Amino acid sequence: MKGQEWYQADDVAEEYDDKRFSRGGRLIDRREKRALLEAVGPVEGREILEIACGTGRFTTMLARRGADVVGLDISAAMLRQGREKARRAGVADHLEFLRGDAGRLPFPDDHFDTVVAMRFFHLADDPEGFLREMRRVASDRIVFDTFNRFSARSIYNWALPMGSRLYSKSEVAVLLAKADLTLVDVADDFLVPYGLYRAIPNALAAPIRAADEAVGALPTADHFASVSYWTARVR
């Protein structure tokens, strides 16, 4: 099955959170949410758009913290899960979901304070076009993550259901410049690739994570980091 079909299938959407973010995956979930909050800054009263929001892990969290959020995704099945999650969390009044194409967003210029895309750019066939479109609808901030070239992640890329695009730091710098964005901050994380965390029980994940963080604190470790979280400002 092609990646896009796999992602949009009903049964995949229904089991998506359970499969990806239970067990060792819970650590990833927590770490990613913390990284996003750090990158986004204060969210209260902000208008935020999330591209490729999937089942709404981040949209629900941002709405809960007082942002007005719109989540966009290609998959109706994923969005149905997102809406359920928003209702359960009692944030449905501050959160809207819609289907759309990240390359042709159905919003006017400069509408959102912040535009976010997590776990998106490794699947993007036209990163330059997508980033330009995110910038078009943002008035202040853009936040996204990339999987890095020369990281432990390369080892298990073959196991992903769809080809995964890796970026070097300089490639991202060029992308930002081309989209008229100024880099504010970049944070690196996860020396051990996600796939390993997903496969192991939580009890084991924590010690591995601790070792991971200890190594990650060494000055040379940045070059091997698996994920980078980028914050950029509209020029």
Partner 1 sequence: MKESLLEILCCPLDKHDLELEDAEYEENEVVSGTLICTECGERYPIEDGIPNLLPPDMREGTPA
Q: How far is the CB of 228 from partner 1 (least distance, A)?
A: 28
Q: How far apart are CA 168 and CA 187, in angstroms?
A: 14
Q: How far is the CB of 94 from partner 1 (least distance, A)?
A: 10
Q: How far is the CB of 18 from partner 1 (least distance, A)?
A: 22
Contacts (Cβ under 8 Å, ≥6 apart) of 31: 189, 190
3-class DSSP state of 56: coil
User: Which two three-digit tokens encode residue 83?
Assistant: 């809406």
Q: How far is the CB of 124 from partner 1 (least distance, A)?
A: 14
When the beta carbons of 17 and 47 are compared against partner 1, the nearer one is 47
Q: Which residue type occupies 39?
A: A
Q: How far apart are CA 186 and CA 38, in angstroms?
A: 11
When the beta carbons of 29 and 96 are compared against partner 1, the nearer one is 96
Contacts (Cβ under 8 Å, ≥6 apart) of 180: 135, 234, 235
Q: How far is the CB of 16 from partner 1 (least distance, A)?
A: 17
Residue recorded with tokens 């995964």: 164
Please measure the distance between the N-terminal and C-terminal CA atoms of the chain and give it in whole angstroms: 41
When the beta carbons of 100 and 195 are compared against partner 1, the nearer one is 100
Q: How far apart are CA 70 and CA 184, in angstroms?
A: 23
When the beta carbons of 79 and 172 are compared against partner 1, the nearer one is 79
Q: Are 198 and 22 in contact (CB under 8 A)?
A: no
When the beta carbons of 5 and 126 are compared against partner 1, the nearer one is 5
Q: How far apart are CA 106 and CA 147, in angstroms?
A: 27
Q: Report the interface residues with partner 1, using CB under 8 A.
A: 2, 4-5, 70, 74, 76, 79-80, 83, 93, 96-101, 104-109, 111
Q: How far is the CB of 4 from partner 1 (least distance, A)?
A: 5
- Residue 185: how many CB atoms within 10 A of its CB? 13
When the beta carbons of 98 and 183 are compared against partner 1, the nearer one is 98
